[in-house]
């Protein structure tokens, strides 16, 4: 009887089951059967659901989002060949850990922008370039995306950011200095800005 059969019968330990699942995911990837890998990543802001394709990180969702609905959305929009593969997220985990510990000021992760299009994608790509510890306004982002009057649309684009923290929409505020909104909630935005030394 093989490991998978033992796992299905509940005869493997949690560590054994995780190792078997990792090997299964590695084999699926090696054989070209895995298009979207996902895993849970721990953070001071709660658990994050990370997903990546061959192009790069495509999702980093706060635990408030319904995981089943999110996975169904990824399956529908990207590919049904989706599998939990925690071992593929070692670099994502390490970089997030370094960021939260104050040892990293920028992420060196490939990004898959395929869940955003047009103006929204241009806004998010401009946001990805806002440096650690600095702020920009919704108007700044709209201008960089090619339409300085589209401030509200810029806010909506930032609200649809699929990769918060790494694509730092928390660094974008209102023109008058108010923090504005944040998909993860204002407390998380404040936490991130305090971490970066922008708020006391």
What counts of helices (H) and strands (E) characterise the chain? 8, 6
- Contact partners, residue 145, CB within 8 Å, separation at least 6: 119, 122, 123, 126, 154, 157
Two structure tokens written together for 195: 């971490």
Give the active site residues.
169
Do 52 and 36 contact (CB within 8 A), yes or no? yes
Q: Say if residues 138 and 175 touch (Cβ distance below 8 Å).
A: yes
């Amino acid at each position: 009887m093989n490991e998978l059969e033992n796992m299905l019968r509940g005869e493997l330990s949690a560590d054994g089951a995780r190792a078997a699942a990792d090997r299964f995911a590695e084999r699926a990837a090696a054989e070209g059967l895995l298009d979207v890998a996902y895993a849970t990543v721990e953070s001071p802001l709660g658990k994050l659901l990370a997903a990546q394709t061959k192009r790069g990180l495509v999702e980093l969702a706060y635990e408030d989002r319904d995981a089943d609905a999110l996975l169904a959305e990824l399956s529908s929009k990207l590919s049904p060949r989706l599998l939990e593969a925690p071992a593929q997220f070692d670099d994502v985990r390490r970089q997030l850990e370094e960021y939260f510990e104050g040892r990293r000021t920028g992420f060196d992760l490939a990004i898959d922008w395929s869940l955003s299009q047009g103006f929204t994608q241009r806004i998010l790509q401009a946001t990805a370039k806002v440096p650690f510890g600095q702020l920009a306004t919704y108007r700044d982002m709209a201008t960089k995306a090619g339409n300085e009057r589209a401030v509200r649309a810029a806010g909506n684009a930032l609200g649809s950011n699929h990769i918060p923290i790494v694509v730092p929409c928390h660094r974008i505020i209102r023109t008058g200095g108010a923090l504005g909104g944040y998909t993860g909630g204002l407390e998380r935005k404040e936490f991130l800005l305090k971490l970066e030394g922008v708020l006391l």
